[in-house]
Amino acid sequence: MRVIECTHPDEAAELVANDILAALAKKPDLVLGLATGSTPIGIYERLVRAHREDGVDFSRVRTFNLDEYIGLSAEHPQSYRMFMREHLFDGIDLAPEQSRFPPTDDHDLQAACAGFEAAIREAGGIDIQILGIGANGHIGFNEPTSSLASRTRVKTLTDKTLHDNARFYEEGEVQPQLATTMGIGTILDAKRIVLQAFGTKKAQAVRASVEGPISSFCPASALQMHPSVTMYVDPASASMLTMRDYYRRVRENERSLDELGFR
Which residues form the catalytic set?
A: 67, 136, 138, 143
221 lies in the binding site for ligand GLP (CB under 6 A): no
- When asked if residue 136 is in the footprint of ligand GLP (CB under 6 A), the reply is no
**Binding residue for ligand GLP, selected from 31, 133, 205, 229, defined by CB under 6 A:** 133
Closest to ligand GLP by CB, 38 vs 253, is 38
- Minimum Å gap between C-beta 246 and ligand GLP is 26
Exposed / middle / buried, residue 208 (Cβ in 10 Å: 0-12, 13-18, 19+) = buried
From 106, 127, 136, select the one nearest 29 (Cα to Cα).
Answer: 127
Residue closer to ligand GLP (CB basis): 25 or 126: 126
Q: What is the largest CA-CA distance in the chain?
A: 60
Contact residue for ligand GLP among 18, 25, 28, 38 (CB under 6 A): 38
Q: Does 1 bind ligand GLP (CB under 6 A)?
A: no
Is 67 a residue that touches ligand GLP (CB under 6 A)? yes
Residue 163 vs 255, nearer CB to ligand GLP:
163
| Distance between CA atoms of residues 38 and 93, nearest Å | 23
Examine residue 37 and tell whether it contacts ligand GLP (CB under 6 A).
Answer: yes
Q: Kindly tell me which residue out of 66, 84, 182, 233 binds ligand GLP, with binding defined by CB under 6 A.
A: 66
- The helix/strand/coil state of 254 is helix
142-161 residues in contact with ligand GLP (CB under 6 A) are: 161
Overall size of the chain counted in residues: 263
Query: Count of H helices and E strands in the chain?
Result: 8, 10
Exposure b/e, 31-41, CB count within 10 A at least 16 = b: bbbbbbbebbb
Please give the full DSSP string across 64-121, using - where no structure is assigned.
EESEEETT--TTSTTSHHHHHHHHTGGGTT--GGGEE---SS-SSHHHHHHHHHHHHH
**Among residues 32, 35, 94, 109, the one that binds ligand GLP under rule CB under 6 A:** 35
Residues interacting with ligand GLP, by CB under 6 A? 35-39, 66-67, 132-134, 140-141, 161
